[in-house]
Amino acid sequence: MTPHNGRSEQLSQQYAAVIHPSWRSRLAPLTIVAIGFLYLVYLFFYFDFANIGDRWRTDRAQIFALDSYAYKVHVETKWRDISKLKVALEGSRWETYKTLPSWIDQQADGSSIIDMGDFGVINLTKDRIEMNWAEPAKPIIIERNTDGTLKVLEGRPLPSWMRISKSKIDIRPDLFARVQITGNKVLIHRFFYGWEYFWFDFDSPLAGYSFGQTIDFIFDEQRQDPARSNLDFVGHEIWTNSLWLHKDVYVALMQTIFMAVMGTVMAAVLGLPLAFMAAYNVTPFASVRFGLRRLFDALRGIDMLIWSLIFIRAFGMGPFSGLLAIGVTDTGTLGKLMSEAIENTDKKQIEGVQSTGADKMQQHRFGILPQILPLFISQTLYYLESNTRGAVIIGAMGAGGIGLQFLGALRTGTDWENVAYISIVVLITVMLMDMLSSRLRRALIK
Amino acid sequence: MPVATPAHLARIETELHRQSRLRTIYSALGIGVLIVFMVFGFNSADEANAGSFSDGITRLFDFPAEIIRLSFEAGWSWFGLLWHYFPFLLETIHMAMLATFIGFVGAVVISLLASSNLITNKLFVSTMRRLMDFMRAFPELVLAMVLLFLMGKSAVPALIAVAFHTIGALGKLFSEANENADMRPVEGLKATGAGWLQQIRFGIIPQVLPNYLSYGLLRLEINVRASTILGFVGAGGIGEQLTANIQWTYGADVTAIFVLLISTIIALDYISRWVRGRLIGTGSMVGA
């Protein structure tokens, strides 16, 4: 037996429990993992993940995705009189173009040539529509019989993106172009990239102005509105945009930020004194401490959401109810946290201040406060960030602000571009608040 | 220079007085601004609100009083309501559990990729961090509502939304834990020729696992609340029951749900504190 072997034997004896663990200690982690795994399997069936594909609405997802970065222009006409073309943004009654856009060329005899961009050209004549799509090269011609039925004259074999039913022919060569023909009308959708009328809405005199044109307009001597300067006019037009509702969105955003900031300030202002009163090294009365402790538990145990429901019942919908809900919940959390921090402060500093002859108030001010201030500031700033997100959520539940705007846009079921816009605004705001609070934290606590 | 010293000290003293006066003025100004901000803010919020504060304060306890009165009227059948709503509470807890689990696994992966001491490519690390910021910033509700529209009303969209947010939130905490980990075990493993995954598995994970689990438990508690809230917009569970009953002021049902919810939150709070205490306790023993 070499000394080396003796050493390894010694080690194996010393660490017998590590090298050869008992069955119990080997089985325990395995049992936990097995139970966890069984639970996951149970949840898999509980939430019916196997059939998740059936519930997924591809059509809706496509509309949502397309609508959030593109807009469509409807061209609608009746077979009865094809010279009457109705061209409207998203088919809206309020956003109908008075003059035809440049991609529609109407002839003297009432027929028209509609340019579909990269996808092809549509020739619309009396009782006949001819579509020259980029692919396939052959034109597709559809005629309308006198009895109102439709007939595909040319274009066979039909491409897969053309669907014919008893009353309707639906042609969609691309996501960005669609033609629907029925017995009495023709509806053409042409899609364009971008957020149309983001700056100036449809009814604005500046609608469709480019950036350069707007700059020119601002420096133009001629005033659009005699009452105000052109710069003011541009600002006013953007602010009162009726399609994108910039005014409503940003006023609501301000309300949300306000709710978060005021709620946090309220929690800080109420929470710190209450925390002092609930700490045993400050307050000698056990009953006061006990009462405050239970108060903190109640304030924080009842969720922010439930508080907001109670306050909305009492004060009605609006940011005030929201800020109270945030303030009350965080008073509980901050109070509990800070009172524990106060109890954990170093006694030496307080005694040092006491030895100079300071009274109780001064001892707390100079002995305790400097010790807990960094934690207090960093917690409050952390709440500021999480409350911004919270304010969006309780806003949607009825407290108002951007959350409610978002819910409104979503409930229309059509304004997906607005949903996307508000989501982006919310996301940027929360990220900015996050950055701001961590910057402040770093600057204040070195 | 003994002669110059008194003048020097006097200058310091006047400067000290001047600075402390300045500080007092600044503090007073700060408090003044805060008070003006609060008063002005409360007033403007009060105006924007549907009902005013002075009217509402008298009615503040009307609603709680009303539902408590209705619960007493319900008598013994109130306990039956607890039993009736228990399955909905379980659904919410299941949602939170699965979302936390998915979020936890995702966060472990993304946090390892976002730790500058484990990945040398700085650009990659900062990209991963931005990705986590993005996931964290998305309010669950916004994502959940879009997904609810796309996937129909069920718990799954809400679950995905909560898990998505959890990945970002936990990922940030985990990556901080990773970066604070002792790198010597990793170096030791590297010396034995261990691969990257082996270095992580045997060098980092044993150090940070207690932290991971304790953050995960904390998150579970938050996610129970979040899942409840998402029930309000149609994700099912106890939240959905709560909205319906609150709207119709079915007092007994509302209090039964409140009691279930609050006791769950308090129970989770205690359980997670107990487990965390044990985890961090053993964790520190391993470190010592």
First to last CA, chain B: 54
Residue B52, in any domain of the structure: no
Measured CA to CA, the distance from residue B45 to residue A305 in angstroms comes to: 19
Containing structural domain, residue B93? 67-287
Q: Does B52 touch chain A (CB under 8 A)?
A: yes
Nearest to A301 among B38, B150, B265 (CB): B265
Shared domain for B104 and B38, answered yes or no, is no
Instruction: Evaluate whether A245 touches A308 at the Cβ level (below 8 Å).
Output: no
Shared domain for B119 and B228, answered yes or no, is yes
User: What residues contact residue A247 under an 8 Å CB cut-off, 6+ apart?
Assistant: A239, A240, A241
Shared domain for B31 and B148, answered yes or no, is no
Instruction: Evaluate whether A341 touches A281 at the Cβ level (below 8 Å).
Output: no
pLDDT for B89 equals: 92
Residue B264, in any domain of the structure: yes
The mean-pLDDT minimum among A10-14, B119-123, B198-202, B255-259 falls in A10-14
Residue B57, in any domain of the structure: no
ipTM, two decimals, is 0.76
Shared domain for B33 and B82, answered yes or no, is no
Q: Does A41 touch chain B (CB under 8 A)?
A: no
Residue B55, in any domain of the structure: no
Task: Report the pLDDT averaged over residues B257-273.
Answer: 84
Nearest CA in chain B to A403: B142
Q: Does A348 touch chain B (CB under 8 A)?
A: no
Task: Report the pLDDT averaged over residues A319-341.
Answer: 89
User: Which residues 63-122 of A are in CB contact (within 8 Å) with B?
Assistant: 64
Task: For residue A419, list chain B residues with Cβ-Cβ distance below 8 A.
Answer: 146
Task: Report the pLDDT averaged over residues B98-102.
Answer: 94
Nearest to B262 among A43, A302, A406 (CB): A302
pLDDT for B123 equals: 92
Q: Give a three-class secondary structure readout of chain A.
A: CCHHHHHHHHHHHHCHHHHCCCHHHHHHHHHHHHHHHHHHHHHHHHCCHHHHHHHCCHHHHHHHHHHHHEEEEEEEEECCEEEEEEEEECCCHHHECCCCCCCEEECCCCCEEEECHHHEEEEEECCEEEEEECCCCCCEEEEECCCCCEEEEECCCCCCCEEECCCEEEEEEECCEEEEEECCEEEEEEEEECCCCCCCCCCCCCCCCCHHHHHHHHCCCCCCCCCCCHHHHHHHHHHCCCCCCHHHHHHHHHHHHHHHHHHHHHHHHHHHHHHHHCCCCCCCCHHHHHHHHHHHHHHHHCCHHHHHHHHHHHHCCCHHHHHHHHHHHHHHHHHHHHHHHHHCCCHHHHHHHHHCCCCHHHHHHHHHHHHHHHHHHHHHHHHHHHHHHHHHHHHHHHHCCHHHHHHHHHHHCCCHHHHHHHHHHHHHHHHHHHHHHHHHHHHHCC
Token digits of residue A426? 């919310």
How many domains does the structure of chain B reveal?
2
pLDDT for B99 equals: 94
Q: Does B1 touch chain A (CB under 8 A)?
A: no
Q: How far is B141 from chain A (nearest CA, A)?
A: 6
pLDDT for B95 equals: 92
Shared domain for B157 and B28, answered yes or no, is no
Shared domain for B91 and B136, answered yes or no, is yes
**Cβ–Cβ gap B60/A319 under 8 Å:** no
pLDDT for A325 equals: 92
Measured CA to CA, the distance from residue B17 to residue A429 in angstroms comes to: 43
Classify residue B109 as left (phi > 0), alpha (psi -120 to 50) or beta: alpha
Nearest to A397 among B62, B101, B232 (CB): B232
Buried b (16+ CB within 10 A) or exposed e, B210-241: bbbbbbbbbbbbbbbbbbbbbbbbbbbbbbbb
Give percent of chain A above pLDDT 70.
98
pLDDT digits (tens, 9 = 90+) for B204-255: 888 888 888 888 988 998 899 889 888 888 888 888 888 888 777 788 888 8
Q: Does A396 touch chain B (CB under 8 A)?
A: yes
Token digits of residue B33? 């601004």
User: What residues contact residue B70 under an 8 Å CB cut-off, 6+ apart?
Assistant: B249, B250, B251, B252, B255
Q: Does A273 touch chain B (CB under 8 A)?
A: no
Task: For residue A304, list chain B residues with Cβ-Cβ distance below 8 A.
Answer: 225
For all residues of chain A together, what is the average pLDDT?
82
Shared domain for B100 and B218, answered yes or no, is yes
pLDDT for B286 equals: 34
**Cβ–Cβ gap A431/B38 under 8 Å:** no
Nearest CA in chain B to A396: B141
Shared domain for B16 and B145, answered yes or no, is no
Task: For residue A61, list chain B residues with Cβ-Cβ distance below 8 A.
Answer: 150
Q: Is A30 exposed, middle or buried (0-12, 13-18, 19+ CB in 10 A)?
A: exposed
Q: Is B92 exposed, middle or buried (0-12, 13-18, 19+ CB in 10 A)?
A: buried
pLDDT for B5 equals: 63
Q: Does A55 touch chain B (CB under 8 A)?
A: yes
Task: Report the pLDDT averaged over residues A329-350.
Answer: 89
Residue B111, in any domain of the structure: yes
**Cβ–Cβ gap A266/B136 under 8 Å:** no
Query: Whats the size of chain A, residue-wise?
Result: 446
**Cβ–Cβ gap B63/A423 under 8 Å:** no
Instruction: Evaluate whether A139 touches A127 at the Cβ level (below 8 Å).
Output: no
pLDDT for B287 equals: 30
CA–chain centroid gap for A253, Å, is 12
Shared domain for B72 and B20, answered yes or no, is no
Query: Is the pLDDT assigned to residue B49 strictly greater than 60?
Result: yes
User: Which residues 108-147 of B are in CB contact (within 8 Å) with A?
Assistant: 133-134, 136-142, 145-146
pLDDT digits (tens, 9 = 90+) for A242-258: 777 888 888 888 888 88
Query: Is the pLDDT assigned to residue A4 strictly greater than 70?
Result: no
Residue B60, in any domain of the structure: no
Task: For residue B59, list chain A residues with Cβ-Cβ distance below 8 A.
Answer: 313-314
Residue B58, in any domain of the structure: no
Confidence band, pLDDT 50/70/90 cuts, at residue B102: very high
pLDDT for B2 equals: 53
Task: For residue B156, list chain A residues with Cβ-Cβ distance below 8 A.
Answer: 47-49, 52, 55
B104 residue type, one letter: F
**Cβ–Cβ gap A314/B63 under 8 Å:** yes
Confidence band, pLDDT 50/70/90 cuts, at residue A112: confident
pLDDT digits (tens, 9 = 90+) for A164-207: 888 888 888 777 788 888 888 888 888 888 777 777 777 777 77
Query: Is the pLDDT assigned to residue B108 strictly greater than 50?
Result: yes
Task: For residue A39, list chain B residues with Cβ-Cβ distance below 8 A.
Answer: 97
Shared domain for B129 and B254, answered yes or no, is yes
Residue B61, in any domain of the structure: no
Q: What is the layout of strands, in order, in the sheet containing A70-78?
A: A81-89, A70-78, A185-193, A177-182, A168-174, A162-164
CATH number at residue B190: 1.10.3720.10
Confidence band, pLDDT 50/70/90 cuts, at residue B285: very low
Shared domain for B100 and B27, answered yes or no, is no
pLDDT digits (tens, 9 = 90+) for A380-421: 888 988 899 889 888 888 788 888 888 888 887 777 888 888
| CA-based torsion, A180, A186, A192, A194: positive or negative | negative
Shared domain for B77 and B34, answered yes or no, is no
The mean-pLDDT minimum among A329-333, B67-71, B114-118 falls in B67-71
**Cβ–Cβ gap B97/A49 under 8 Å:** no
Task: Report the pLDDT averaged over residues B81-88.
Answer: 91
Nearest to B50 among A57, A316, A392 (CB): A316
pLDDT for A3 equals: 52
